[in-house]
A and B are shown apart, each in its own frame.
Chain A
Amino acid sequence: MDITFKNVSYIYQQNTPFAHRAIDNISFHIPSGTFVAIIGHTGSGKSTLLQHLNGLVRPSEGEVKIGDFLLSHEHKPKNLMELRSRVGVVFQYPEHQLFEETVAKDIAFGPENFGVEQAEIEQRIKEIVPAVGLSEALLARSPFELSGGQMRRAAIAGVLAVKPEILVLDEPTAGLDPRGQKEIMDMFYDLHQQQKLTTVLVTHSMEDAVKYADHVIILNKGTKYMEGKPEEVFIQQEALNQVQLDMPEMIQFMQAFQARFGTEIPFMRQTVEDLAVQIQEALKGVDVHE
């Protein structure tokens, strides 16, 4: 499903002295199948923006289109339930929302609420549990006996069990150790490709954005500050520094390399291995014997 924002603003406590414009006149279009990263500091409007994606809030001004669902101040879709079954949201620290007696029941809760039949739910659990890196032996356990990383995976399985077409991830790796972070992000990336999902990743990590996303949107104080391909957006050092963001470390190094040796290595989202080869090649052409 395509995601389109057209001049969207959202105002908290509208028509009161406390009115606060959390997002301000934001427009963008995300074609179906895109992996998009939304980046911005605390208070930039990221969380408000993503609450529009499954109709938790509707715009105060402008309109949001998710596939055929239209959300605006005047228009509330009749079939919000259906929208929510097609847009899965993994909120921050999703393990805080675990509540059932067993992991299996917790994963089944979402699809049951959307009226999926029991046999189908069991089938889905069988597929999803290995995909999120949990062992089937854990299904009968209480979710509260799991480790932090396992709880996170169980909560994510619950969202995936609804089989959404759009997956919204709000800092899904916060608080995990480096290996856990990489495993979870690789898992989302595999799912994104295999199931042809549209994925919206809200993150602070420029490194994750450059590694996984094919489109980035940078928010600042409720407005859209920059938008484009990672290889176009992330090389703009001054613009990023203006909003206290840094370029991904690889690009920082490549620019420092150019400053020192006078040879440019263009950023093409290459691997570290490829970069090492390019550095060696580049150095052959540099003459330091003046």
Chain B
Amino acid sequence: MREALVEFRNVSFRYGEDQPWVLKQVSFTIYKNEWIAIIGHNGSGKSTIAKLMNGLLFPQEGTILINNVPVNEETIWDIRKEVGMVFQNPDNQFVGTTVQDDVAFGMENRGIPREEMVKRIDETLTAVGMESYRLTEPHRLSGGQKQRVAIASVLAISPELLILDEATAMLDPKGRMEIMQTVSNVRERLQLTLLTITHDLQEVVQAERVIVMNEGEKWKEASPREIFAEKKELQRIGLDVPFIATLAEELKQQGMPITNEPLNHEELLEDLWTLHSKM
């Protein structure tokens, strides 16, 4: 039986009493050590979900549990040790004058002893591949490097859940690749549950499960393969479909019986090969 880390039970949220509901009766569970992606059009409520998870916002209705503890004013300080977030803009997240100061900042706030801090700075900067930049000033780093340091700073608190809220959106393709490689490496080294909020289809395909949000409601929750099988519907709610899924759909329209919902080049080529051998 999988252990639940985050539970949303009928959560509704709005920014003010005269404002429309941003989230409407949303329920889902995130399990320990899984990689889950949340996608949805701008304004669908994705980022609000992230902010509710570590008590930056509180819902008007419903309950949010982290490790079976309800998120509220009394519990947020403990919960923020469990839930770390990296945001979109790499320039808005630096507080230290050097990379290692920045990683130390969150630990200092939590009163972690010096010897432990030194050890964790080593570990986390190595995990994100930034160990040789310890004394570098943040403004000398590229966007991708800044986000890697931001991830290290969060990992130093050793949270159970790492949320990347469009953390690659402002990066160039090289920066995006750096981050996704970093995240895969980190997940191999540490026990970590990962939530990525993103428009990037490559990030979505890598996740084990996807929650699709539409106009404040949970539209669907399934594996990437099941989600991308519903191309027409996804496009209707303003989302994109990977190139391979689109091509597979067109091939089906041509009468080629492709059944496996391929998500990458190898899978589609394999399907074509098998089909062709039978022809």
Contact = CB atoms under 8 A, between A and B. Distances in A.
A256 B253 contact: no
Interface stretch (A49-57, A134-142, A269-277): A269-277
B251 interface: yes
A231 interface: no
Nearest to B89: A175
A283 interface: yes
A288 B277 contact: yes
A279 interface: yes
Contact of A178 (B172, B240, B272): B240
Interface in A217-260: 244-246, 249-250, 252-253, 256-257, 260
A260 B275 CA distance: 14
A252 B265 CA distance: 9
A176 interface: yes
B238 A178 contact: yes
A255 B88 CA distance: 34
Q: Could you tell me the dominant secondary structure of chain B's interface residues?
A: helix
Contacts of B143: 42
Contacts of A31: none
Contact of B243 (A261, A272, A280): A272
A204 B175 CA distance: 11
B269 A275 contact: no
Given A249-B243, A250-B243, A272-B247, A175 B265 contact: no
B254 A276 contact: yes
Interface string A175-191: 11111100000000000
B75 interface: no
Contact of A272 (B142, B172, B175, B246): B246
Interface in A168-213: 174-180, 204
Given A177-B238, A179-B238, A272-B243, A283 B272 contact: yes
A43 interface: yes
A142 B145 CA distance: 37
Nearest to A243: B174
A16 interface: no
Contacts of A250: 243
A275 B247 contact: yes
Q: Report the interface size class on chain A.
A: 35 or more
Given A175-B169, A253-B243, A280 B254 contact: yes
A77 interface: no
Given A177-B199, A249-B243, A147 B250 contact: no
A177 B211 CA distance: 16
A147 B254 contact: no
A123 to B, nearest CB: 32
B239 A178 contact: yes
Contact of A275 (B88, B239, B250, B266): B250
A149 interface: yes
Contacts of A178: 41, 199, 238-240
Interface of A: 41-43, 147-149, 174-180, 204, 244-246, 249-250, 252-253, 256-257, 260-261, 272-273, 275-277, 279-280, 283, 286, 288-289
24 contacts: A42-B143, A43-B142, A148-B42, A174-B169, A175-B88, A176-B42, A177-B40, A177-B41, A178-B41, A178-B239, A179-B238, A180-B41, A180-B42, A180-B238, A244-B173, A246-B173, A253-B243, A253-B265, A253-B268, A256-B266, A272-B250, A276-B247, A280-B251, A286-B276
Closest 10 A/B residue pairs (Cβ)? A276-B250, A178-B240, A179-B238, A177-B42, A249-B243, A177-B41, A276-B251, A204-B172, A244-B174, A256-B265
